[in-house]
Structure 1
Amino acid sequence: MRSAVEREYRTLSPLDVRIQTHRRYSEAAHDVEADVIAAAAVTSGDRLLDVGPGTGTFLARLAADHTAPLTALDFSAESAAACAALPGVRALRGDAHHLPFAAGSFDVVTARHMLYHLDDPVPAVAEAGRVLRPGGRFAAVVNRRAPYPRMTALLNDVLTRHDVVSPPSPDERVHGGNLPGIVAEGLGLGPDSDRITILRRDDALVFPDAAPVVAYLVSILTLHGVPDDSPLRAPVTAALDAAVRAAFRTLPGGVWRDPKGYVIVTASP
């Protein structure tokens, strides 16, 4: 799985497609970054580590009025470079399972939409707990169980027709249903601990035409075993385009609606 993830994040362009898709086509006005900030009770004086910062938008939002150090850590060179360009942000390349920081270095550690990319997320959560000060806060966010069922079914059908053996979807590995248990185990807390809080947001992607659906599906092809340099990339992309456009001709009102959502688990080890 690590190989597919490494290929995916050699460039941040596919991730940015997904971010912009959620911003433009979400049915509800949920703000996942604001929800994480509120759930973790982040203040401007908190020493914060963001593990898996992606394009850096979360840290850019915090940096505007943050007085304490902000730190980003990602295995992706592109992500680390994007975050290093942000004022007031220290960015490093590294492994979430082996954080290069002393115990108690941070007040807050966030892991946003990244635990599902790890072969074993529990040790990574334990590492986050190690680098938190006593009473610090850990916040993780992942997708709900089985998001985007319509897009997922269409993608799986196209991949099957092209004999692509897709690795397990990240959302099948870690999702809103099992995240609380993963966090509890990693931080050494009981599953019913009152030091764990859960926020669930239900939503949907609503598309008025085929183009953004196709763009989103193409943005995740590398994660599903069809990287940019694969000879199957062009035929799979063409098949996705045709399948999505055919699906739109049968949709009531010509609108594509796909349920989604996210779950934020916050804990204090």
Structure 2
Amino acid sequence: MTATPSARAVSQYATTTGNLTARMALHAYGTNPQGWFAWLGERLPLAGDVLEVGAGTGELWRRVDRPATGLRLTLTDFSPAMCDRLREVPGARVQRCDATHLPYADAAFDTVIANHMLYHLDDPDAALVEFARVLRPGGRLAVAVNGRDHLAELDALGPVIDRFDLAVGSHQNDVTAETTPARIAAHFADVTVERYPDELAVPAVEPVLAYLASMVGPLTAAQESAARDMVQARIEADGAFRVRKHTVLISAVRGSR
């Protein structure tokens, strides 16, 4: 039976930060000189009471300069391992909780951030309802999601290693760049979408193998050999293993209702 998105997230993230760290490491090979976190940080309203839901390892707050005053930061995640890392972020309040049942009062925050996390939920619309509830009227929502073709060249390695479950979409819900703006518009106003321009150009095989292992577990010798041969051939032909990216930032405003 196919695991639910939340069950898959528990197996991947509840007890370790290693899988997420391996995946983020691959994005160091992005061709955009401005990395994702810097690009995102420029577009976030960083003032007042800010909540990031599903904050993972807190990497955003290690890469973005926070205002010296005027920002009260709250970080949440369902994972005990992630919360342990989040407690290393200076000045942040950290809470382990479910994104669909936030332990905060109505209208408690000026900004809510959901960076690459909605697709891990069994009921993403319930989370959007919660985001609207805890935002003040006029408060801002920032949601990052991926398109259906995101990392397609990595997904294509699944059949090569006989792991058809490698494809990200096989264990996530239908929250994508194509569908999410309309979902958000059901609860928020002034919805805008901006795509982050980037692709990966990976010059060596090892980072790709580390990504594969983070997704499906340790590779057998045969799986590693098959993946290595294909990736190395692409590197020799194209100068790098090139991977398409399709990530968007969706911004919206909490209405007065």
Q: State the TM-score bracket (shorter-chain normalisation).
A: 0.7 to 0.9
Secondary structure of the corresponding residue to residue 143 of structure 2: strand
> Which one-letter code corresponds to 1:17 in the other structure?
A
Does 2:34 align with 1:42?
Answer: no
Q: 2:11 aligns with which of 7, 31, 35?
A: 7
CA distance in 2, matches of 1:74, 1:201: 24
- Indicate which of 91, 97, 101 corresponds to 1:98: 101
* Paired amino acid for 1:242: S
User: SS of 2:103's equivalent?
Assistant: coil
CA distance in 1, matches of 2:94, 2:232: 47
- CA drift at 1:263: 0.3
CA contact (8 A) 2:155 2:166 kept: no
Question: What are the Cα deviations for residues 114-155 of structure 1, in whole angstroms up to 9, with x where unaligned?
Answer: 001011211101101100011000100012222122210112
Question: How many Å apart are 1:34 and its aligned residue?
Answer: 3.0
* 2:36 alignment partner AA: V
Aligned length: 246
Alignment map for 1:43-62 (pairs within 5 Å):
43=47, 46-60=48-62, 61-62=64-65
Among residues 188, 196, 220, which one is paired with 1:201 in the alignment? Answer: 196
Give the C-alpha shift of residue 254 in structure 1. Answer: 4.5
TM-score (normalised: structure 1): 0.83
Displacement of 1:217 in angstroms is 1.2
Alignment of 1:136-215 (within 5 A): 136-160=139-163, 168-169=169-170, 173-185=174-186, 187=187, 189=188, 195-215=190-210
1:115 equivalent in alignment to 2:118: yes
> Aligned to 1:48, what secondary structure does the other structure show?
strand
Q: Is the 8 A contact 1:36 1:139 kept in 2?
A: no
In 2, Cα distance between equivalents of 1:167 and 1:256: 19
Q: Take 1:50 and 1:119, find their aligned partners in 2: how far apart are those partners?
A: 19
Residue aligning to 1:32: 36
Identity %: 33
Alignment partner for residue 243 of structure 1, among 216, 219, 226?
A: 226
Match of 1:203, as an amino acid?
D
| SS at structure 1 position matched to 2:16 | coil
Q: Name the CA distance, whole Å, in 2 between partners of 1:152 and 1:166.
A: 5
* Partner Cα distance (2:137, 2:250) in 1: 18
The question of whether the paired residues in 1 share the 8 Å contact of 2:51 and 2:111 is answered with yes
Residues 209 and 254 in structure 1, CA contact (< 8 A), matched pair in contact too? no
* Cα displacement (A) at 1:239: 3.6
**Per-residue displacement from partner, 1:84-126 (whole Å, max 9, x unpaired)?**
2222101011000000000010000000010010112111011
Structure 2 unaligned spans of 5+: none
CA distance in 1, matches of 2:135, 2:46: 14
Amino acid at match of 1:258: V
| Secondary structure, counterpart of 2:71 in structure 1 | coil
Change (3 A) 1:170 1:109: farther
Contact 1:159 1:166 in 2 (8 A): no
Letter in 2 for 1:198: V
TM-score, normalisation: structure 2: 0.86
1:18 is aligned to 2:23: yes
How far is 1:165 from its partner?
9.5
What is the CA-CA distance between 1:42 and the residue it aligns to?
Answer: 2.2
User: Where does residue 253 of structure 2 map in the other structure?
Assistant: 268
In 2: Cα distance, 1:17 partner to 1:165 partner? 15
The one-letter amino acid of 1:267's match is A
Shift of the 66–16 alpha-carbon distance from structure 1 to 2, 3 Å rule, reads farther
